Amino acid sequence: MIKFHCPHCNQKIGLDDNYAGKRVRCAKCKQPLQVPGAVAQPAAGKPITDAGKPDKVTFNCWNCGQRIAVGAIYIGKSVKCPKCAKPIQVPSTQQPAVQKKPAAPAVTDDDAELAAMFGDNLANKEMLAAEANAPSVEEPLRIAPLSSESADGAQNICPRCGTLNPIGTQFCAGCEYSFTAPAAGAGPGTGFLVGLAASIGFALVGVIVWTILAGLIGYGWMNFLCVGVAVLAGLGFKMALDERGPGIGTLAILIGLAGIFLGKVCIAKWVVLPRMESEIAAAKVEWEKAPDKAVLSEEEIMRRMNDPNEMFRAAAYQMADEGTFSKEFAEKVVQTQSDGRAPIGEAEKILAGVKQVGEKISGWTDEQKRQAIIAQGRRDVQAFQELGRTMMEKAFSDSNVPKGFRRAIEEANSVSSGDMKISETSYGFTVAFIRALECSDLLLLPLALFCAYKAATG
């Protein structure tokens, strides 16, 4: 392959060896140019090698455009550029120096038409005149850089690396450039908008898949899919954009982060909230079927039965419910049995009550003791609920209590009574979103954002 720079715009061009010595047009500036290939004749007095080559070869570095001169013995070998230090193959011919800003010679009346077409570059006019008189086999290649076909059947020169590719090729053989990508002249920012839309679309697809799998398998097990959402956000830019830098990577991070947040919101709304409602409904049914089991576990019942103070308290309050003595007297009996002190003036009566409760317990079977403990557990729950209602009434009477707090308490009571679903409350979604968060997010979130950046920048 022949690699050289355009002498007019310094564009990198790569052509097959069969184009050596022919004329083509540059894919970037559209100017006609001569493809290197013929061995340059050395000047008079210059030594000539056995192969008929000049003593030195001058050419431009394929990577940075640096002008290089090496001995003819290096023709066809790889050398390192003194500027960019990258390997480059020494061509077999001399290459013209890059003309950055050619001087503008005077234009005569006979050259008016040529000057109108190619400006004041005299070298271009001379090449065009020579091209017009060339035989048909030497007609120049007019190459369309972004189209797989051209009017005269020419092949494609890659606009990135200058490699010549066959007609119909989708990707450049030299750098894998996509010829089917949107053309640069399709409009300002068109490629970026396509990449942005692809990134957002891919992230949304990932969110949908994540939500569905979280509902089927479990949001805790599927939490690692947040990394997939971020990766899809980066791949959207990679598939749509040819040039991607740190800015695109940062934008992919932001879109990936937004996708992960949206995924958590969707999981909280369509996975966690329905499960919370199911749990509350199941607890309510369990309470109605067996309120004793809903209040105390079997282990807790056995623990209280073996605790003398708990057993005494349950028996004293049960005797109060049966009418043996009042609830206030039962409280004094329980207090005296607990700390051994009785109020002055009532000591004899209270000690008699303590003895009576002890005799009651000694006559009970294990099942009677168990039922007494269960009944006391229900009394404790009712007392706690009563205390909560009293505290709420006092709080509502205080004007300094925020309205949002009052509303949350009222909604909680409505949920517990079955008058309202938790999804209908003002705090239900917040609780569900908090439950959707996992400790693994602390590790997966940085990993997801890093993958989004790498997927976008390649």
pLDDT recorded at residue 103: 46
pLDDT in tens, the chain (458 residues): 777 777 777 777 777 777 777 777 777 777 777 777 644 444 444 444 444 445 777 888 877 778 888 777 778 777 778 788 777 777 776 666 555 544 444 444 444 554 444 444 444 545 555 544 444 333 333 333 333 333 333 345 666 666 666 656 666 766 666 666 444 333 335 678 988 999 999 999 999 999 999 999 988 889 999 999 999 999 999 988 877 889 999 999 999 999 999 999 999 999 999 998 888 887 777 666 665 555 677 888 898 899 998 999 999 999 998 888 898 999 888 888 888 777 778 888 888 899 999 999 999 999 999 999 988 888 888 887 787 777 777 766 766 767 777 787 778 777 877 788 888 888 889 999 999 998 899 999 999 999 999 999 87
Residue at token pair 């479990």: 218
pLDDT recorded at residue 114: 45
Q: Which of 129, 128, 154, 157 is nearest to 141 (CA)?
A: 154
How far apart are the C-alpha atoms of 31 and 18, rounded to whole Å? Answer: 20
pLDDT recorded at residue 150: 38
Predicted structure pTM score: 0.45
Q: 143 and 150 in contact (C-beta within 8 Å)?
A: yes
Q: 284 and 247 in contact (C-beta within 8 Å)?
A: no
Polymer length of the chain? 458
pLDDT recorded at residue 412: 79
pLDDT recorded at residue 399: 66
Helices 403-417 and 366-397 cross at an angle (nearest 10°) of 150
How far apart are the C-alpha atoms of 82 and 63, rounded to whole Å? Answer: 11
pLDDT recorded at residue 12: 78
Residue at token pair 């992919």: 252
pLDDT recorded at residue 300: 85
For residue 80, what are the β-bridge partners?
A: 87
pLDDT recorded at residue 180: 60
Task: Please report, for residues 31, 146, 150, 167, 198, the alpha-carbon distance to residue 140 in angstroms, rounded to integers and kept in the order given.
Answer: 11, 18, 13, 17, 40
Q: Tell me the three state secondary structure of residue 309.
A: helix
pLDDT recorded at residue 134: 43
Q: Which of 97, 96, 120 is nearest to 108 (CA)?
A: 120
Tokens of 282: 């199941």
How far apart are the C-alpha atoms of 246 and 261, rounded to whole Å? Answer: 23
pLDDT recorded at residue 199: 93
pLDDT recorded at residue 290: 60
Q: What is the dihedral of CA 219, 225, 229, 231, to 10 degrees?
A: 170
pLDDT recorded at residue 38: 46
- Structural domain boundaries of the chain? 2-165
